[in-house]
């Protein structure tokens, strides 16, 4: 699986990149056929607080699956996006197994 990390308006630290790679790699246990994973990180400044947004786009043969999450921390938003993708991959797997039976 190819993982492409894009940080908009800032440069992501190596520790954040390694966290992203570990989290996205954990999705392979739900579907081995993941071709690409695009991770887009961005933030918005609102007075003193900033909202961090993560968008993860997975390319699976025949489909494209995506998830967005916005929180006050990048690690929380990445974990939330990965949790959403886990649910989508589980649903996709059950649909495929029902069709084959």
Q: Could you give the CA distance from residue 4 to residue 100 in angstroms, rounded to a whole number?
A: 32
The pLDDT mean for the chain works out to 90
- Reported as a pLDDT band with limits 50, 70 and 90, residue 100 is low
Average pLDDT over residues 86-95: 89
Kindly state the tokens that stand for 44. Answer: 């918005």
Kindly give the pairing relationship between strand 2-7 and strand 36-46: parallel
pLDDT digits (tens, 9 = 90+) for 11-39: 999 999 999 999 999 999 988 889 999 99
Residue 42 confidence (pLDDT)? 93
Average pLDDT over residues 59-83: 93
What percent of the chain stands above pLDDT 70? 93
Instruction: Give which of 25, 3, 19 is closest to 74, Cα–Cα.
Output: 19
Q: Reply yes or no on whether the pLDDT at 97 is more than 80.
A: no
Q: Could you give the CA distance from residue 78 to residue 75 in angstroms, rounded to a whole number?
A: 5
Residue 35 confidence (pLDDT)? 93
Average pLDDT over residues 66-89: 94
User: What is the three-class DSSP state of 96?
Assistant: helix
Question: Domains, the chain, ranges and CATH?
Answer: 2-100 (3.30.160.100)
């Amino acid at each position: 699986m190819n993982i492409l990390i894009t940080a908009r308006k800032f440069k992501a630290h190596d520790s954040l990149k390694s966290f992203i790679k570990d989290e996205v790699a954990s999705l392979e246990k739900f579907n081995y056929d993941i071709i690409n994973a695009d991770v887009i990180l961005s933030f918005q400044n609102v007075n003193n607080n900033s909202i961090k947004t993560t968008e993860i786009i997975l390319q699976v043969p025949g489909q494209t699956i995506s998830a967005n999450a916005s929180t006050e921390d990048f690690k929380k938003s990445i974990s939330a996006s990965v949790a959403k993708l886990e649910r989508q991959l589980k649903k996709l797997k059950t649909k495929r197994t029902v069709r084959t039976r």
